[in-house]
Chain A
Amino acid sequence: MKSFSKMVYPYVVWAVAMIVLPMLMIVLYAFTVKGNSVLTFQFTFDNFIRFFSDPVFPGVLWRSLKLAVITTVLCILIGYPSAYIIAKLKPNSQALMILLITLPTWINMLVRTYAWRGILGHMDMSGEMKVYIGMLYNFLPFMILQIYTSLSKIDPNLIVAAHDLGANNRETFRRVILPLSLSGVVSGITLVFLPAVSSFFIPKLLGGGQYVLIGNLIEDYFISTGDWNFGSAISLIMAIIILISMYITRKLDRPVADEEVD
């Protein structure tokens, strides 16, 4: 076994080069100003002060978090029943349904969003509504797949046992199926919430240029202003918020994991 552990090294090197170094660069940029043109670093909190001293930027952050939370909740509300129904089908039908759900994800997200723009362009609704439709459409498959996977892994004998012990359908769902599928919901949340909070092209394409989110802000400061330092600071603030929310979702999952061990 010991010889196998050596095979980890290439991955470690890759991870440092591709993940850790760029992150460190972002941190470096975030705590400096004009690091782009001058090579002398001066550490400063200016970028963060600039972000929080103007209510506009925290406002955008709040709006992005709201959009991501609502998208995630809608995905759970629609995704859980869908996954539950699919898991109850015959194995052949299950495979077909899962294929149908994954089918759109074979096509690039950007292309599908452009298609939605064509469809929604003719409809009279607010840009915000269009953004929500686009978000839900793009992220729903991830939620369904995660929940479906955890539901289909539940041992049918557990359900039979619950019935034997006198639980009705409702109780069986609440006390057996739901807790056992919660890990799927949690990983679904991770897969939906994280990309949703930093998504920038869906609001850009569907919001009619009137819907600014944190992802758009970051893009704007990197691309059209060329202010990498402020853009990095916003990215870092985002990263911290994501880290915190991941910690909270992990906490949600913890009690379930403990029960499984028992």
Chain B
Amino acid sequence: MNSFRMLKKTGVAALALTLAACGGSGSGSSSADTETVDAQTVHGCNVLNVYNWGEYIGEDVISNFEQKYNAKVNYDMFESNEIMYTKLMGGSAYDILVPSDYMIERLLKENMLQELDKSLITNIDALDPDVVEMQKVYDPELKYSVPYFHGSVGLVYNTENVDPAEIEQKGWDILLDEKYRDKVYMYDSQRDSFMVAFKALGFSMNTSDENEIQQAYEWLRKVHETVHPAYVTDEVIDAMAYPSDNNPKDIAVVYSGDAAYIMAENESMDYIEPKQGTNIWSDAMVIPKNAGCPGLANEFINFILEYDSSYDNSVTVGYTSSNKKVTEDLSNGEFDGIGAYLPRTGYDKDEVFRFNEVLVQKLSDLWNKVKID
């Protein structure tokens, strides 16, 4: 899995394709024993438009689904919830979306989602009860979404250069330690960075209090001045997994799934969810109101929940599955000893993001101010 993803990431497309082809013929045949359903006769349509995050699905999941339902899947990828939202507002019709918690809350509020057909989603019991608990925050009636992946935000650090006891004790405040000047990556996203600041200061990350926002801004400015972090996005994964620059970083703010990947690739890395609390999040599958083939979309959700697909997704991507059995098997198998694969649940200082448009605008202006000298 890891070598496959690395090849893909470094852009050796031809090699990756060959590997994918090999992988496809290998495991594709093993799961083809299930009976097939003809989508056209059952649901009256056989084309499914899926819009998911980039690098967020197993290698054979789509082709297995297409085979089983004799359907065609158009698979599009987005890189942020906001891009997905914009495209949706532009009138694009999708059958399946996989947005994050706060975006689902927004879509629900704007009445853009349709209720799922639970009679078709027979695998719903496979869901991890802890994840369902989190789901209640954004989908209180559990009627509109089915969790896909979940995780937390934390710090990945190099155990050779950072004392685990020190980072454990300081948590987020380690980002204010001058020792680590030019040794820190922060995620270039106002949401995640302000979350770190709010949590470090002991506030709720869903605060609207002007005074708390101002203090968080000053905290981030202080981080900017003391450790001078590099603000990056997905390149943090490769940079921490395969440190090769002349100035490798020791600490990075990352999502737990990326941390799991980094730790699987690089033994000297470890992951910590700071004691001041963090953001726990969940991405879930929803069906928009304007879906062209809702019946098949419900079948798709059910198919993703199946053990085989969930396993394939999770083992390929490194993010934590919402299928409890898969998570258990992987944390004792492929991801044994990789703490980041099992994000913290049930900690009272951890929070789920809520949708707050006014706050988003305020934070994005302030975030640009943090980054600009």
Nearest to A222 among chain B residues (CB) is B86
A226 touches B85 (CB 8 A): yes
A-B contact pairs, 27 of them (CB 8 A): A36-B86, A37-B110, A54-B369, A56-B365, A56-B369, A59-B372, A60-B368, A60-B372, A121-B246, A122-B246, A124-B246, A208-B232, A209-B232, A210-B228, A210-B230, A212-B368, A217-B368, A220-B368, A222-B86, A224-B82, A224-B189, A224-B190, A224-B364, A225-B360, A226-B86, A227-B361, A228-B86
Number of A-B contacts (CB under 8 A): 66
| A170-185 with Cβ < 8 A to chain B | none
Residue numbers in A under 8 Å from B110 (CB-CB)? 37
Decide if A56 touches B82 in the complex (CB within 8 Å).
no
Report the nearest B residue to A225, measured CB to CB: B364
Does any Cβ of A come within 8 Å of B371's Cβ? yes
Bound state CA distance, A127 and B274, in angstroms? 30
* A96 nearest CB across to chain B (Å): 31
Do A208 and B89 touch across chains, with their CB atoms under 8 A apart? no
Chain A's nearest CB lies how many Å from the CB of B254? Answer: 14
Contacts of A210 in B (CB 8 A): 228, 230-231, 371
State A224–B188 Cα separation when bound (angstroms): 10
Known: A54-B369, A209-B188, A224-B190. A121 touches B244 (CB 8 A): yes
Nearest CB on B from A123, distance (A)? 7
User: Other than the known A36-B86, A124-B247, A212-B372, what 13 A-B pairs have Cβ atoms closer than 8 Å?
Assistant: A59-B372, A60-B372, A121-B246, A208-B230, A209-B231, A210-B228, A210-B371, A223-B80, A225-B360, A226-B86, A227-B361, A227-B364, A230-B361
Q: Is the CB of A212 within 8 A of B244?
A: no
Contact present for A225 and B190 (CB under 8 Å): yes
- 4 closest Cβ pairs, A-B complex: A226-B82, A209-B231, A225-B364, A209-B232
Q: Any chain A CB within 8 A of the CB of B17?
A: no
Contact with B along A222-248 (1 / 0, CB 8 A): 111111101000000000000000000
Complex interface: chain A residues within 8 A of B372 (CB): 56, 59-60, 212
B35 within 8 Å of A (CB atoms)? no
B245 at the interface (CB under 8 A from A): yes
Q: In chain B, residues 233-252, which have Cβ atoms closer than 8 Å to a Cβ of chain A?
A: 233, 244-247
What A residues does B21 contact at CB under 8 A? none
Cβ of B1 within 8 Å of any chain A Cβ, yes or no, is no
Pairwise interchain contact B364-A221, C-beta atoms closer than 8 A: yes
Give complex CA distance A220, B83 in Å: 11
Which B residues are in CB contact (< 8 Å) with A37? 89, 110
